[in-house]
Structure 1
Amino acid sequence: MNNTWKIYMLTLISFLVGTSQNVISGILDQVAVSIDVSLSAAGQLTTAFALATAIGTPIFIVATAKIDRRKQLLIALAIVLLGVISTLALPGFGFLMVSRAILGVGTGVFVVTAYAVAAKLAPPGRQGGAMSNISLGFSSSLVLGVPIGRVIASAYDWKVIFWGIGFFTLLGIFAVARAIPSMEGEKPIPLGKQLALLKNPKVTFALGMTLFVFIGYSVVNTYITPFLTSAIPISGGKVSTVLFALGIASLIWSKTGGFLADRLGTTRTLLCSMAVQFLSLALVSVVSGSAVGVIMLLMLWSISAWTFGPTQNFNLLSIAPEASGIMLSLNSTFVQLGFAAGAGIGGIVVGGSSILAICWIGAAAVAVAFFVNITSFGLTRRYQEKGDNVENRNKIYLRE
């Protein structure tokens, strides 16, 4: 197997582990019924997964940085398989929460390591394309994994999905062991050094923007299936169709965000993305009951939300180009913290109010991110007026 096919293999496995994260949002109502908990309680399964990914992944990566990359991939897939087995075998909501946390750590470690392996397998000058394939595989789980999972859960039982994930994870273990060559690990970057960049106010504001945008996204996305069935007269296969459409929009615009940033500029693209997110979510409750209106606004929300991702990555790299790897790692952590917080807040709202209120909460979170963005760029202008060099500040923080 040549290196190109090895990268495609890692892309397929990234799709698989991405499905283990995202599929819950499409079957949340069925999971809640099967384990006899409320919808808001079931939503905390997303919180457990995201928190485990955000906290456990960087700790595990630092602890195993010197281990051979192939072994790291195999360990990550073994953790995913353990999470799947515990999901299927252990009864009750408590064990399911633990299983989601195990899956979160395994998924996070696999994706981070797959990025590094794909970059090493790619020929010179094509490392970026190889890494984007891994990202595409993970993002595709929203397009295919979630709606397919909904169809399977409607026809059979939601646990059948995890039987499939477990089977293909086992195949993935054998494939990685056979196809991926041994690769030396790298010198670990201490967590303290990674967190040192947070001393820079501009970095802190930028990551805060990431946090609030993904809180807004998670509040809505975690409960998207019960929201659809409550807001409009829709059920069965039609829910899968809507989820598929939202996934397609996410996939296309996650690739288009960088193009818009090049044409409009990073600042304008980020501001426009958040403004559209806010307006679309705020208007959903106004047109509630109109299937066409709600679906079109959710499509607009999904497009604008996934335009934000690549643009924000570019923004963070421009803030600290000398620490690009650390910045992307920190951003990934704040994305997962946003997912965790959004699922938790959404659970409180769903449990204590109408499920339609999640759109207002999501809109409020995006509004906070919008003002954080304005503050961040205002801070940059003040630095420039004083002749302060942000890059030099970052170097000082990293040395400390």
Structure 2
Amino acid sequence: MNRVAIYLLALGAFVVGTAEFIVSGVLEIISRDLNVSISLAGQLVTVYALSHAFGALVLVMLTAQFDRKKVLLYSMLVFIFGNIIAFFSFNFSMLMLSRIVLAMSGGLFFVVAISYAAQLALPAKRGGAIATVITGFTISLALGVPIGTLIAAYLDWRYIYLIIAAVTLINLILLNKFISELKGKKQISLKQQLLLMKDKKIISGLLMTIFWMLGYTMVFAYSAPLLSNLAGLSIEMISTALLVLGLSAFVGSRIGGYAVDKWGPVRTISISLIIHSTALFVITITATSTLGAFLTIMVWGVAAWTTTPANQYYLISLKPQSSDIVISFNTTLMNIGMTLGAALGGVVIQYSSVQNLGWIGGTFILLALVCSTFSFVSSKQSL
């Protein structure tokens, strides 16, 4: 297994994740600087999610037959360009344009990077290789966003994007040196690609992704008011709790990679979803104390992100000859799940109570478990 290449792919996932999530940390600063409302500035998150979904689906389809190394490097080049646009964004429209460019190129890179990592590794190590790339993405939550927010406290927030561009350029040069060429797959027509979605085991596996991400995001997006209301945590303590969640996500993604190579994706996905749903069901009880809140967040973060590499591995195993397409659908639906989770969570808070987020989110995770179980059973029946 080419470890250096896989670690470089993980670094690429890290910068993509940092570019996506950093807006949440500097939203108020951007709002003041560009003279727009917080709600309008928040649309930078929504537009990114939708554009990322487009890049992960349509662009992957359009580039399926091209050499994967060239697609990977050109996507990084466009990503650097997007960061430069963000650096020179002196009005909201220009910043919004940069988000679209960053999301589409980042979405394409992420899908190709996961597929690349899987093919660079030996069959027995593919789960770990996929987990390594996903770990790079989760580390952006734990380290990239806090560091970027800290930089914004001392420098103009635009310099964050200049730094991301510089790191990406170095990574691009190293990837060009260390990864081998990988031929694109035979071009599949749009009709044939959509026919993949007629497979009930793939459909149910992708439905699992939507419900899993919806349940997770519903609570994650509103974790600050949830912890403030239930545990009475200060802003500093909430920031620490989110750091703990990010570190737990890192641990979870590593456990997921190890577990899928050791015990397979079926057991890993099932157990992680059961623990995930349990954590969300009890969080409104345990989060009434600081210690209870932190312990539950740790379990939640580990369980939630253990699912990710196992799910990616499972979906690839269903259609290995169309791995890029399947992963692109999965990445797209992850972003749709995030968008729906944030929107539905807002509705819950507006019309009921923030305390209801836990059990509603946990219910969606159980629906994800039902979908995954159906997919596993269908997969066995087709053998």
Which TM-score tier does this pair reach, normalised by the shorter chain?
0.7 to 0.9
> Which digits, 9 at most, give the CA deviation of each residue in 1:53-103, with x for residues without a partner?
222233223323444444423321232223223333335555544432221
**Within 1, Cα distance between the matches of 2:150 and 2:274?**
33
1:335–1:160 Cα change, 3 Å: same
Aligned to 2:210: 211
**Within 1, Cα distance between the matches of 2:331 and 2:148?**
25
Aligned to 2:142: 143
Asked if 1:198 corresponds to 2:197, the answer is yes
**Within 1, Cα distance between the matches of 2:86 and 2:297?**
31
> Which digits, 9 at most, give the CA deviation of each residue in 1:328-359, with x for residues without a partner?
34323322221232233345555666655544
1:155–1:281 Cα change, 3 Å: farther
Contact 1:64 1:72 in 2 (8 A): yes
1:46–1:351 Cα change, 3 Å: farther
Q: Partner of 1:280: helix, strand, or coil?
A: helix
Aligned to 1:397: none
How much has 1:197 moved relative to structure 2?
2.4
Letter in 2 for 1:90: S
How much has 1:8 moved relative to structure 2?
3.6
Contact 2:125 2:261 in 1 (8 A): no
Contact 1:46 1:343 in 2 (8 A): no
Letter in 1 for 2:89: L
How much has 1:213 moved relative to structure 2?
0.5
Aligned to 2:233: 233
**Within 2, Cα distance between the matches of 1:171 and 1:364?**
44
> Which digits, 9 at most, give the CA deviation of each residue in 1:191-221, with x for residues without a partner?
4323212212232122111111011222233
How much has 1:307 moved relative to structure 2?
1.9
**Within 2, Cα distance between the matches of 1:279 and 1:114?**
32
Contact 2:127 2:258 in 1 (8 A): no
Q: Which aligned pairs between 1:117-136 and structure 2 lie closer than 5 A? A: 132-136=131-135
The number of residue pairs the alignment matches comes to 382
> Which digits, 9 at most, give the CA deviation of each residue in 1:29-59, with x for residues without a partner?
5555655666665554333222222222332
**Within 2, Cα distance between the matches of 1:24 and 1:359?**
25
1:347–1:108 Cα change, 3 Å: same
TM-score normalised per structure 2:
0.80
How much has 1:280 moved relative to structure 2?
2.2
1:86–1:127 Cα change, 3 Å: same
**Within 2, Cα distance between the matches of 1:357 and 1:132?**
32
Q: What residue ranges of structure 2 are gaps of 5+ in the alignment?
A: none
**Within 2, Cα distance between the matches of 1:181 and 1:310?**
23
Contact 1:43 1:344 in 2 (8 A): no
1:129–1:291 Cα change, 3 Å: closer
Choose 256-265 or 11-20, whichever is displaced more: 256-265
How much has 1:226 moved relative to structure 2?
5.7
Choose 227-236 or 174-183, whichever is displaced more: 174-183
**Within 1, Cα distance between the matches of 2:361 and 2:300?**
11
**Within 1, Cα distance between the matches of 2:116 and 2:367?**
37
Aligned to 2:291: 292
Aligned to 1:365: 364
1:174–1:317 Cα change, 3 Å: closer
Q: Partner of 1:189: helix, strand, or coil?
A: coil
Contact 2:280 2:300 in 1 (8 A): yes
Asked if 1:390 corresponds to 2:382, the answer is yes
Aligned to 2:58: 59
**Within 1, Cα distance between the matches of 2:123 and 2:272?**
34
Could you tell me the percent identity over the aligned residues?
35
Letter in 1 for 2:246: G
Contact 1:48 1:98 in 2 (8 A): no
Q: What residue ranges of structure 1 are gaps of 5+ in the alignment?
A: 392-400
**Within 2, Cα distance between the matches of 1:304 and 1:127?**
20
